[in-house]
Amino acid sequence: MGTWIRTGPAAAASVLACALLLVVQQAWYFGGWGGDEVGRLVTDASYVPQALVFTVLAVRVALSERQEPRTRRAWLVIAFAFGCQLAAHCSWFVQEHVTHTTGYPSPADYFFLLFSPFMFAGLLMLPGQSRRRRDRQKLALDVLIVGAGGFMALWYLLLGPILNAPGLSWWERSFTAALPVGDLLLVLAMSTAMLRRHQPETPAPMLLLAGSIALTVTADVSYTWIQLHGRFTGGSWPDLLWLAGCFLLVVAADQQYRRPRRSGPRRGDRNPVFILPYAASVAAYVLLAEQSSHLPLDPYGGMILGSAVLTLLVMARQLHALRDNREMAVTDGLTGLANRTLVTQRLEQIARQPIRPGHHTAVMLVDLDRFKPINDTFGHEAGDAVLVAAANAMRSVIRDGDLAGRLGGDEFAVLLHHLPSREVAGAAAARLLEALRTPVIFGEHVLMVEASIGVAVREDPETSGETLLQQADTALYAAKRAGRGRFEYFSDVLDTKAREADLRRAVAGDELVVYFQPAVALVTGELLGAEALVRWNHPVRGLLGPGEFIDLAEETGAIVPLGAWVLRAACREAAGWRAASPGAEALRLSVNLSPKQVAQADLVQTVETILAETGFPADRLTLEITESVILQPDPLIIGRLQALRDLGIRLAVDDFGTGYSALSYLRSLPVTTLKIDRSFVTGIADDAEARSVCEAVVHLGGAFKMTVVAEGIETAEQAAALIDMGCTIGQGFHFYRPLPPAEAAAVVHRQASAVG
C-alpha cells in the first residue's frame, strides 16, 4: 500500500475522487434533494473521506525522501493537525447521525480546536529564507501588524460580543473565544510563512494552504457568530467554505509531494505579499472609524487597544523602511554587501586620513576564478548562489569596522582598517582564500570556486583611493598570472613588470590592431597615403590608444618587438590594398619608429625582411622618427638612416617644431619629410606665433627640398590657412580620423576606383 500510494496513481485518483465528492455535495446543497436531513447527512459524510485523504497525503510528504528534511518535519506536524481534523469530522458525524448527542462543547469541538496549534507550529516550521537579524525584526513587525488588524476585526465581530454575552459560564466563554483566537494564530503563521520568502512567486502548495486557511477562518468566524446568536445546524452555508477548504488541503498536500527540492536562491523582486500588513492596517482603521461613529466604547476597548498597538507597529515598520531605503542605495542587492558606491566613498575617506604606524589600511581585490564557466554551465541561479557564498565567506573573515563590497560581476573589494602590520593583510587574504574554498551546494551540484586576491597596503599619504584600488588590481593580475587561487601584494616592481608582461603578451597574442589615418592633398582632398597608428584591444580595459602604453613600451624595451609588429601588419595591409585595386599603387604608407627602434643595430635588416615578407615596395614607405633622434646624431644612427634611404625608404621628422632640431643637423641628415606638429596647426587661425612657426616650417621644407605635411587639421579654416602658406599635404580629423583596417581599405578602394 505504501509504495502504491507513493507512486502516484492512487494519490491522483483520491484527489480526483475528492473533487467529485465536493461537486456532488455542492450540487446536493443547492439542489436540496431529499430534504434537510439528507442534505446534512451528505455534507457531514463528505468531510470524512476528504480528511482521510489529506491526512494520508500529508503523511506521504513527511515520509518522502524527495523533500528537504526541514520540509518533511514541518509536514509531519501539519499531518498531525490534519489528523485532528479527521478525528473532529469523524466524531461530528457520529454525534450528529449515529448517537444524536447534543451539547456544547462536544468532542468534535475539542478536536477542531486542536487543529489550530498544530497547524500553527507546522506552518512556522516550513523552511523560509535565512535572514539577517534586521530582516527578522521587519518580518516580526509585518506579522504583528497583520495580527493587530486581525485582532481588531475579531474583536469587533466575536470577541467583544462573546465577553458581553449574557448567561455564559466562564468556561463556555473561554471555549467559544478559543476558536477565533486559534484562527488568528493560523493567520499569523500563514502570513509568516508567506512573508518570509524572498521569491516573488509563492509556491503552489503554500498558496493552496493559504486559500484553505482563509476559507476555514471565514467559516469558523461565521460558525462562532451563528453560535452566538442562536444555534448552528450542520449542512448550512459555512459548511460549503469548510468543505472547499478541506479540498484545498487535499490538493496542497498532493502538490507539495510533487514539488522537488527548492533550487538555489534567486535574486527577487519584492514578494508581492508585502502589501498584506498595509492592507490589514487599512482594514482595521476602516473598522475603527465605522465603530466609533455609533457604538459605545465600553465593550470595544480591544479595538482601541488594537489600533494603538497597530499605530505603533506601523510606525516602527516605517522607520525600518526608511532605513532600508537609505541602505539600499549603498547595498549590493544580491549579496547584501556594500556596493561600488559605498566602497568608493570609503576609499576616498581612507585617502584623507594620515598614515599612522600600527594602523595600516589595506585593500583586497577579490576575483573568483572560473566563475564564468559556472554561470554558463549551471545558469545564473548557480552563479548567484556562488556569489552569495563568496559574500558570506568575506563576512566571516572581516572584523568590525572593515568593509566588504561587491564592485560588480564576480569582483569584490575588502577594506581592512587598523592593521598592526602589512603582513596582517596577507594573513587575512590567506584566511579568505581558505574560506572561499568551501564548496557551494547548488541543488544536486557541488560547485568548487577559488579566488585570486590582490592586496595593496596604503603606504604613501599621497595615494588616492582610486590609485590604491588600481594597485590592488595590478596585484590581482599578478596573482592570476602566477596561477590563480592565491594572493599577491602590490609593489612598484610588480606594477611595471606586470604591465610589461601584459604588453608583451599583447604583441604575441594578436591583441594589437593597426588603424590608418589617411593623408590628403590639401587643395583637392585626393588621397595620398595613410599613417599607421597602433591600438591595443585590451581584453579587460577595452580599446587603448598609444598614449596609454607607448611610454611604458619605450621604458621597458617592449617597443622594439611592438614596432616590428606594427610595421609588418601595416605593410601587409597596405600591400593588400595595392593588390585589390591597381589605382592604390601610388599611395604612401607612413609608420612611426621609436628612438629605441632606431638604436637597434639590426633595424635595417628588420625593415628589409618585413618588406620582403609582405611584398610592400620600399619606395612607397615613409618611416617617421622623432626630433629627439636627430638631436644628437650619432654616426651609427646616421649610417642606419642612410641605409634605409638607400633602400628607397623615405624618412619623416614627426611632430616637427616641438623639440630642438638644429637646422645644421637637419641639413646633414637623410630626411625627406617634415611633419608640422598638431599644436601649431591648432593655433594657426588665432595665434600669430603658431602661424609663423607653420610658415617657417613650410619655407624650410622648400629650401631643403623636403615634403611638408601638416598634422592635426581639424577645421576648414586651418586647411585654408595652410594652403595659403603653400603647404600641400595634410592629415587630421577634418579629413579623416584614424580608421580601423576594414574602413581604411574601403576608403582606399573608393578613391582608387574613382581615379582608375
| Segment lying near ligand C2E (by CB under 6 A), choices 6-14, 228-236, 343-351, 543-551 | 543-551
Identity of the residue, 195 or 710, whose beta carbon is nearer to ligand C2E in the bound complex: 710
Residue whose C-alpha is closest to residue 508's, from 545, 555, 552, 561: 561
Identity of the residue, 454 or 738, whose beta carbon is nearer to ligand C2E in the bound complex: 738
Using CB under 6 A, which residues numbered 634 to 693 contact ligand C2E? 654-655, 678
CB of 553 to ligand C2E, least distance (A): 8
Q: Which residues contact 305 (CB under 8 A, 6 or more apart)?
A: none
CB of 701 to Mg ion, least distance (A): 15
Out of 255, 592, 661, 751, the only residue in the binding site for ligand C2E (CB under 6 A) is: 592
Nearest-10 crossing angle of helices 133-154, 170-195:
140
C-alpha cell at 511: 591583441
Q: Could you check whether the bond before residue 105 is cis, i.e. omega within 30 degrees of 0?
A: yes
User: What is the rounded distance in angstroms from the CA atom of residue 179 to the CA atom of residue 224?
Assistant: 8
**Residue found under cell 582608387:** 752
Out of 180, 277, 383, 563, the only residue in the binding site for ligand C2E (CB under 6 A) is: 563
Beta strand 650-656 with 440-442: parallel, antiparallel or unpaired?
unpaired
CB of 749 to ligand C2E, least distance (A): 22
Identity of the residue, 440 or 721, whose beta carbon is nearer to ligand C2E in the bound complex: 721
Residue 732 binds which one of Mg ion, ligand C2E, none, with CB within 5 to 8 A depending on kind?
Answer: ligand C2E
Residue 14 binds which one of ligand C2E, Mg ion, none, with CB within 5 to 8 A depending on kind?
Answer: none
List the beta strands (DSSP E) in 579-649. 588-592, 621-626
CB of 654 to Mg ion, least distance (A): 4
Q: Is 324 in the site for ligand C2E (CB under 6 A)?
A: no
CB of 327 to ligand C2E, least distance (A): 44
User: What is the rounded distance in angstroms from the CA atom of residue 167 to the CA atom of residue 63?
Assistant: 49
Using CB under 6 A, which residues numbered 509 to 538 contact ligand C2E? 517, 533-534
What Rg do the C-alpha atoms of the chain give, in angstroms? 42
Q: Is 727 in the site for ligand C2E (CB under 6 A)?
A: no
Residue whose C-alpha is closest to residue 273's, from 209, 190, 188, 194: 194
**Pair 648, 682: CB distance under 8 Å:** no
Q: What is the SS3 assignment for 203? A: coil
CB of 408 to ligand C2E, least distance (A): 29
Residue 367 binds which one of Mg ion, ligand C2E, none, with CB within 5 to 8 A depending on kind?
Answer: none
Residue 533 binds which one of Mg ion, ligand C2E, none, with CB within 5 to 8 A depending on kind?
Answer: ligand C2E
CB of 739 to ligand C2E, least distance (A): 10
How many residues sit in the footprint of ligand C2E (CB under 6 A)?
A: 25
Out of 83, 149, 180, 712, the only residue in the binding site for ligand C2E (CB under 6 A) is: 712
C-alpha cell at 332: 549590493
User: What is the rounded distance in angstroms from the CA atom of residue 546 to the CA atom of residue 721?
Assistant: 29
CB of 661 to ligand C2E, least distance (A): 15
Q: Is 714 in the site for ligand C2E (CB under 6 A)?
A: yes
Q: Which residues contact 303 (CB under 8 A, 6 or more apart)?
A: 152, 155, 156, 160, 287, 288, 291
Out of 470, 594, 661, 728, the only residue in the binding site for ligand C2E (CB under 6 A) is: 594
User: What is the rounded distance in angstroms from the CA atom of residue 704 to the CA atom of residue 684?
Assistant: 23
Identity of the residue, 402 or 711, whose beta carbon is nearer to ligand C2E in the bound complex: 711
Identity of the residue, 183 or 624, whose beta carbon is nearer to Mg ion in the bound complex: 624
Number of H-type helices and E-type strands within the chain: 29, 16
Q: Is 254 in the site for ligand C2E (CB under 6 A)?
A: no
For residue 190, CA distances in Å to 146, 187, 206, 506, 718 come to 11, 5, 9, 60, 78
C-alpha cell at 269: 523582486
The 3 state secondary structure assigned to 578-597 is HHHCHHHHHCEEEEECCHHH
Identity of the residue, 502 or 654, whose beta carbon is nearer to ligand C2E in the bound complex: 654
Residue 550 binds which one of ligand C2E, Mg ion, none, with CB within 5 to 8 A depending on kind?
Answer: ligand C2E
Identity of the residue, 477 or 516, whose beta carbon is nearer to ligand C2E in the bound complex: 516
Q: Is 561 in the site for ligand C2E (CB under 6 A)?
A: no
Please say whether the dihedral angle defined by the alpha carbons of residues 61, 65, 68 and 70, taken in this order, is positive or negative. positive
Residues that bind ligand C2E (CB under 6 A): 517, 533-534, 545-547, 550, 559, 563, 566, 592-594, 624, 654-655, 678, 711-714, 731-733, 738
